Amino acid sequence: MGDSTVTTLEGREPAAAIPVEETTGTGRLRRLRAPRRPRLWFEILLIAVSYATYSLVRNAVPEQRAEALRNADLIWRLEGQLGTAFEESVNHAVNSVTWLVVGMNYYYATLHFVVTLGVLVWLYRRHPGRYAATRLVLFVTTGFALVGFYLFPLAPPRLMNGQNFIDTVLVHQTWGSMASGDMKNVSNQYAAMPSMHIGWSLWCGLTLFALASVPWVRVLGLVYPVLTLVVIVATANHFWLDAVGGVLCLAVGYGVALAWYGRRPSALPRRVPEPAAPPAPEHVPLQKQP
């Protein structure tokens, strides 16, 4: 009665010990940070909801016209003191070449969305392991821009009082800026700082330069944000200092991604390894009873 008997089953392996970190907060955090294969349906839903939310929030910011115009005068005076108030000269020079300014109007209205979505699709297909981290940079950049729209309402140069800027969309009657013509009633005209045309185009350019394998695509990645800067100034939709604001927002986005993943997005593995399949149970032939 006092002796305890321990019965072991032959051929059965002992249960594997569960790593301690898997049950701790550190283990869960590590799993959240680990690159994972993006799911198409989730990414489409996330991008659609995020852009709709961005548009709603951006347009819900009160149109503080008086403050926005005062801030525009402040920016213009600051650029004058720096000797860099060149926007009006560029605006008039480009406006004198009809085919060029019309092309810039359409560039401003379309490429902002088309190229950004195209880079996202390319990342999803060719660099799935880096997709989530790079997408995080874009989302954080856009989120900080919304804060800028709220805290610093700013009129674009074409809406300034007492200046001679030309609204190229109105003059040439092209479909262009959401803040010109009939579309101005559904878009916040005083959300110019920071410039997301620059924030998004620089995100696209740096992503292509860091990850593309074709040399001319990498060069195009560097040229794209430079051309975008020329366009936003030439069409009188932004001051060049708005572009600086876009760059700062993008820097915050990269900082958040670096802090979360511990590495630059481009330094993450290109592809996420497939999850290992569980080992097949070993087949043990039955022995005949004597």
Question: Which residue(s) pair with 273 in the sheet?
Answer: none
Cβ atoms of 288 and 55 within 8 Å: the answer is no
How do residues 82-126 score in pLDDT, each as one tens digit? 999 999 999 999 999 999 999 999 999 999 999 999 999 999 999
Angle (CA) 34 125 29, round 5°? 10
CB 149 within 8 A of CB 258: no
Q: What is the CA radius of gyration of the chain?
A: 27
- ω into residue 14 within 30 of 0, thus cis? no
HSE (side-chain half, CA atoms, 13 Å) at 15: 3
Instruction: Write the pLDDT tens digit of every residue in 207-265.
Output: 999 999 999 999 999 999 999 999 999 999 999 999 999 999 999 999 999 999 999 99
Mean pLDDT computed over 261-270: 90
Instruction: State both tokens at 34.
Output: 């680990």
Nearest to 234 by CA among 78, 95, 29: 95
Calpha distance 105→68 (Å, rounded): 23
User: Exposure of 279 by Cβ count < 10 A (0-12 exposed, 13-18 middle, 19+ buried)?
Assistant: exposed
Kindly state the tokens that stand for 100. 């060029």
Which tokens is 161 given?
A: 């009082």
Contacts of 46-51 with C-beta under 8 Å, sequence gap 24+, read: 47/117, 47/120, 50/139, 50/142
Planar angle of CA 233, 235, 238, nearest 5 degrees: 45
pLDDT value at 76 more than 80: yes
pLDDT tens-digit series, residues 134-144: 999 999 999 99
Token reading at 72: 């525009």
pTM over 0.75: yes
